Amino acid sequence: NEIKIFCPATIANLNCGFDVLGLCLDGIGDEMIIRKTAEKGIRITKIIGADLPLETEKNVAGVAALAIVKAADPDIGFEIEIHKKIKAGSGIGSSSASAAGAVFGINELLGKPFTRHELVDFAMKGEALASGCEHADNVAPCVLGGFTLVRGYNPLDVIKIESPSEIYAVVLHPHIEVKTSDSRAVLSPTVLLKDAITQWGNVGGLIAGLYTKDYELIGRSLQDVIIEPLRKQLIPNFENVKNAALQNGALGSGISGAGPSIFALCKGQEAAEKVAYAMSNSYQDTGIAFDMHISKVN
């Protein structure tokens, strides 16, 4: 009658794949406890670690939970207790972890009436409340694990991407908040054809590299000529951190989701530790507090 779940953090975009690519971080995440109640409906009973609304309709976990409950229409209700560890506005999918956790947990307690792919759709409803638009590049890897691609939104078509076993993600999280809505507001609604060509070449290259376990191709494809140039000014010291990662053996580096976190992908744990050290060294002088995470991606 009760389930305790781990809700992983995620990295969206992966440079070339704005709003379509993402990956799941094993080592960082929230915890959530969901209980069945005789009374119908969804109640958020407790949130520890963040100052977020308890009203169901104003809470991303609540909105996502309402979406799955509306579709399943059970004779029972649920109460949700959230232990936030992922900071809001950090760029590693804080709201998605809550949205995905709520639908995953409720689906388990209902006896799994929905597939994992269907859960992504419900979770996206919660995510929309946080960011002001429906995008699934964080909720998809959060629910499915590993690397994911949102092939299309209308209807939602999410694909889990095979990947080599030795990929590690390093995340530098500066303790400043960048709201996804602000980070989207700096983007241009149009792109140049030459930039689009570069970008979709890289998306194809990254997917091919992941399937064929070609680490060099993965590295060459981790580029972003459309979003990063507009967003990087929101992230203090971004270029230095990225260069430190690349010069110390990272396959690629860039903005994690909407920022301000900066990520790097590496081959193997040893390489990841070296890159994490270099990235954190390059950030010391900013005077901004930060934390580092290393996580295997699988």
* 270 belongs to the catalytic site: no
Which parts of 90-119 interact with ligand HSE (CB under 6 A)?
Answer: none
Site string for ligand HSE, 250-269 (x = CB under 6 A): -------xx-----------
> Which of 11, 12, 24, 128 is close enough to bind ligand HSE by CB under 6 A?
12
The verdict on 134 binding ligand HSE (CB under 6 A) reads no
* 127 belongs to the catalytic site: yes
The verdict on 138 binding ligand HSE (CB under 6 A) reads yes
Q: Is the CB of residue 13 less than 8 Å from the CB of residue 21?
A: yes
- Residue 280 identity: S
Site string for ligand HSE, 17-36 (x = CB under 6 A): -xx-----------------
Quick one: which segment of 12-20, 38-46, 195-203, 271-279 binds ligand HSE (CB under 6 A)? 12-20
Quick one: which segment of 23-31, 48-56, 178-186, 275-283 binds ligand HSE (CB under 6 A)? 178-186
Residue from 132, 237, 148 nearest 187 by CA: 132
Strands (E), the chain: 2-12, 21-37, 41-48, 77-83, 147-153, 156-161, 167-174, 252-255, 262-267, 290-296
- Retrieve residue 38's tokens: 């005789």
Q: Please report how close the Cβ of residue 47 comes to ligand HSE at its closest, in angstroms.
A: 20
Distance CA 171, CA 231 (A): 17
> Which of 160, 184, 213, 296 is close enough to bind ligand HSE by CB under 6 A?
184
- 3-state helix, strand, coil split of the chain in percent (to 5) is 40, 25, 30
Q: Please report how close the Cβ of residue 135 comes to ligand HSE at its closest, in angstroms.
A: 5
Q: Please report how close the Cβ of residue 107 comes to ligand HSE at its closest, in angstroms.
A: 23
Cα torsion through 37, 38, 40, 43, rounded to 10: -30
From the list 10, 79, 180, 228, the catalytic residue is 180
The verdict on 199 binding ligand HSE (CB under 6 A) reads no
Which element (helix H / strand E) includes 281? helix 269-283
The verdict on 13 binding ligand HSE (CB under 6 A) reads yes
Residue from 119, 125, 167 nearest 296 by CA: 167
- Cα distances from 77 to residues 4, 41, 87, 233, 236, in angstroms, run 16, 5, 28, 45, 45
The verdict on 137 binding ligand HSE (CB under 6 A) reads yes
Q: What is the DSSP letter of 54?
A: -
From the list 79, 127, 148, 228, the catalytic residue is 127
Report the interface residues with ligand HSE, using CB under 6 A: 12-13, 18-19, 131, 135, 137-138, 180, 183-184, 257-258
The residues annotated as belonging to the active site are: 127, 180
